[in-house]
Chains A and B, each alone.
Chain A
Amino acid sequence: MAALPTADRTPDTAGTGFADIVRRYQSMVFSIARHFLGDPSAAEELAQDVFLQLHSSLKDLKSDEHVKFWLRKVTGHRCIDHRRRRRPPQVSLDETPEPSAPQNSADPLLARRLRQYVASLPEKPRLVVILRYQEDMLPEDIAEILAMPVATVKSHLQRSLAILREKVTRTMGEVTI
């Protein structure tokens, strides 16, 4: 994914442009926050703040790609800030609020468990996993957004996958993944 702005694209910064941007990217921003925070109302509030910040920064963004890059970056950083500011008491996985399962998920129970396990990962690995598997981003693009080396992103991914595989195998023994 080319995350940097491209000069040949027309800036989309008019009043109606902002409405289009919100409609186009609301699902992306909300889902990143939702999967990261696990709390739909907190995710909605955070997503709204991200778009309001975008509204005042829109004049500095040159293209659609730049807007998308900016939204992912700011949402990611705000998620981490939100979690650090309002760090909740440690709760067990069973107490973690469960995100609503998508209707056409292949295995709703496994998917639900996985979302819980992703929500229990440390902040940065969690964000890396969400950007990789929700947004289908390459490690290079994630590294750019999170301002970390590509090797670190890959290492977060490998370790997170190992943790998730181990947890799924332990709790849902019959499932082989």
Chain B
Amino acid sequence: MTSMNPNPNRLEDVLKQALRREEAPDNFAARVLTQAAQNSRARETRRESWLGVFSQPLVRWAAFAAVSICLIAEGVHYRNQQRERAQGEAAKQQLMLALRIAGSKLHLAKEKVNEINTSRPESQPESRTPRSQS
């Protein structure tokens, strides 16, 4: 065993020695570069194979048809929405008109009632008095 002088930094010094960087294994860099190149090629191939699907006429037509169907469906949906909105607006206008007419009729009726009420108080006391006497 080894003896050493007591030193507060001794452990840290020995740790630095013990944990010094080690050389990577032989050909480590070459292996990493080869693997990276393979990964890049694989990524490229995947991207190409994905885009390559569209080089077949049948797939191109199918994609075109799918896109067309989507566009048509979206157009129909939009027109339906527009129509429903227009119908809603018309119904709202009709309702407003009906409310206005009803309001004016009510106003008329109220005026009539007021008229009747204002004419009644003069005749009522006279008609009641004879009946109570008899």
Interface residues, chain A, CB within 8 Å of chain B? 18-19, 22-23, 26-31, 34-35, 40, 44, 47-48, 51-52, 55-56, 99-100, 102, 105-107, 109-112, 114-115, 118, 129-130, 133-134, 136, 161, 164-165, 168, 172-177
Question: When the two chains form their complex, are residues A102 and B24 in contact, meaning their CB atoms are under 8 A apart?
Answer: no
Question: When the two chains form their complex, are residues A118 and B28 in contact, meaning their CB atoms are under 8 A apart?
Answer: no
- From residue B26, how far is it (CB to closest CB) to chain A in Å? 11
A101 to B2, CA, bound (A): 16
- From residue B44, how far is it (CB to closest CB) to chain A in Å? 13
**Most interface-central of B3, B6, B16, B22 (chain A CB within 10 A):** B22
Which residue on chain A has the smallest CB distance to residue B25?
A44
Question: When the two chains form their complex, are residues A111 and B35 in contact, meaning their CB atoms are under 8 A apart?
Answer: no
- From residue A174, how far is it (CB to closest CB) to chain B in Å? 5
Question: When the two chains form their complex, are residues B22 and A34 in contact, meaning their CB atoms are under 8 A apart?
Answer: yes
- From residue B36, how far is it (CB to closest CB) to chain A in Å? 4
In the complex, chain B residues whose CB is within 8 Å of the CB of A112 = 18
Q: What 0/1 readout, one digit per residue, does chain B (39-73) give for beta carbons within 8 Å of chain A?
A: 11000000000000000000000000000000000
A44 to B6, CA, bound (A): 37
A130 to B21, CA, bound (A): 10
Question: When the two chains form their complex, are residues A55 and B39 in contact, meaning their CB atoms are under 8 A apart?
Answer: yes
Question: When the two chains form their complex, are residues A106 and B17 in contact, meaning their CB atoms are under 8 A apart?
Answer: yes
23 of the cross-chain contacts (CB-CB < 8 Å) are A22-B29, A26-B24, A30-B22, A48-B32, A52-B35, A55-B39, A100-B22, A102-B22, A105-B18, A106-B17, A109-B1, A110-B14, A111-B14, A111-B17, A115-B18, A129-B15, A133-B12, A164-B15, A165-B11, A174-B3, A176-B3, A177-B6, A177-B14
Grouping DSSP codes into helix (H, G, I), strand (E, B) and loop, the A interface class, with mixed when no group exceeds half, is helix
Q: Does B19 sit within 8 A of A, measured CB to CB?
A: yes
In the complex, chain B residues whose CB is within 8 Å of the CB of A29 = 24
- From residue B25, how far is it (CB to closest CB) to chain A in Å? 6
In the complex, chain B residues whose CB is within 8 Å of the CB of A22 = 28-29, 32-33
In the complex, chain B residues whose CB is within 8 Å of the CB of A55 = 36, 39-40
Question: When the two chains form their complex, are residues A161 and B11 in contact, meaning their CB atoms are under 8 A apart?
Answer: yes
Question: When the two chains form their complex, are residues A177 and B20 in contact, meaning their CB atoms are under 8 A apart?
Answer: no
Question: When the two chains form their complex, are residues A30 and B35 in contact, meaning their CB atoms are under 8 A apart?
Answer: no
Question: When the two chains form their complex, are residues A30 and B14 in contact, meaning their CB atoms are under 8 A apart?
Answer: no
Question: When the two chains form their complex, are residues B11 and A174 in contact, meaning their CB atoms are under 8 A apart?
Answer: no
Question: When the two chains form their complex, are residues A27 and B39 in contact, meaning their CB atoms are under 8 A apart?
Answer: no
Question: When the two chains form their complex, are residues B14 and A106 in contact, meaning their CB atoms are under 8 A apart?
Answer: yes
- From residue A162, how far is it (CB to closest CB) to chain B in Å? 10
Question: When the two chains form their complex, are residues A114 and B28 in contact, meaning their CB atoms are under 8 A apart?
Answer: no
CB-CB nearest 10 A-B residue pairs: A111-B18, A26-B24, A30-B24, A134-B19, A114-B18, A31-B21, A133-B15, A55-B36, A177-B11, A177-B10
